[in-house]
Amino acid sequence: MARSTMVRILTIILLLATLLPAAAAQESEGIQESRFLGDRFSIRLIGGLVALRTDVAAGRNLQALIDLEDVLGFDERISTLGLESSYRLTPNRRHAIHFRYANFDRKASAVIEGSVPILDLEFVGAVSSKFVNQMAMLEYQYSFINNGKTEAGISSGLAFYKYELALAGEVVLDGNPDRTEFRTENVDIVAPVPVFGFFINQALRKNLILEINTSFIDLAFGDDNGRIFSTWASLTWFFSPHIGVGAGLSGSDIAYENDGSKKLKIKLRQSAINANVTFVF
């Protein structure tokens, strides 16, 4: 595991160790009802401005990673929508199911300099391309503490990452730059990845909630080899009993490689500023 990832994990553990004793003392004083921490079901719509850097290699013989933004002309900043939902399974609000979905699909057209060796071909000239980057996560959350003011716990579950790279353009035949033909090629894969994380939610006031969570994994399983680290922080104000608005920051660092029948290697860095609307019931 990378040193920077270890530092982040240790920081979260220290934060949990600091907050949990104080939260336990508050819990003994009785439950304080706060929006989001005290409700059974919530749905959150998220709109974000995302900065991305993406490097990809694909084909039977994985060659050097290609920077999609610099080489193929993909936008480095996009706007996107996401969805979250949470359902607390028990009256004591210690057990919950949490779902997340995010979509970072992009399309591009560029006239490349030289050639791009990818998908076992050598593309030249004008190239149209598409990169699909979607994530869906279902996880179980257990709260060590939830007194209506402070909530802290761990989460585990399964994330599905869908990646697809499609290119259309002229390709070089038999290594001769004077011989080309138009081709459309693509590779796609759905990678199921187990995830584990920590979360801390704090009611700064009864209807002002600070949320911090992180999830990570670093493992090799079958043909899949991946390292994923993601963090999220949001501040939400519930101006009515069932609706809140908020803003947040998030970031992800992903390295993934499949060495099976669909060879694909990806490095992704994502950071985002987002606004959200939360409905609680």
Cβ atoms of 136 and 159 within 8 Å: the answer is: yes
1 secondary structure, DSSP code? -
Q: What per-residue confidence (pLDDT) applies to 24?
A: 46
Region 264-269: mean pLDDT is 94
pLDDT tens for 130-143 read 999 999 999 999 99
Q: 24 is written with which tokens?
A: 């336990």
Residues 153-168 have pLDDT tens digits of 999 999 999 999 999 9
The arithmetic mean of pLDDT across residues 6-13, rounded, is: 50
Residue 65 gets which letter from DSSP? -
With bands split at pLDDT 50, 70 and 90, how would you rate the model's confidence at 27? Answer: very low
Q: Residue 52's beta-bridge partner residues?
A: 270
For position 12, what pLDDT does the model report? 52
User: Which bin fits 76, alpha (ψ -120 to 50), beta or left (φ > 0)?
Assistant: alpha
- Mean pLDDT, the chain, rounded, equals 87
**In the chain, where are the structural domains located?**
3-102+138-156+194-280
pLDDT for the residue 191: 84
Distance CA 201, CA 233 (A): 10
59: left (phi over 0), alpha (psi -120 to 50) or beta: left
Choice between 40 and 16, residue whose per-residue pLDDT is larger:
40
pLDDT at position 5, please? 46
Q: Residue 18 — pLDDT band, cuts 50, 70, 90?
A: low
Q: How far apart are the C-alpha atoms of 173 and 171, rounded to whole Å?
A: 6
Nearest alpha carbon to residue 103 among 153, 64, 45, 143? 45
Tell me: the pLDDT tens digits for 46-98? 999 999 999 999 988 777 899 999 999 999 999 999 999 999 999 888 999 99
CB within 8 A of 277, min separation 6: which ones?
44, 45, 243, 244, 245, 246
- Per-residue pLDDT at 126 exceeds 90: yes
Q: Compute the distance between CA of residue 169 and CA of residue 128 in angstroms, rounded to an integer.
A: 6
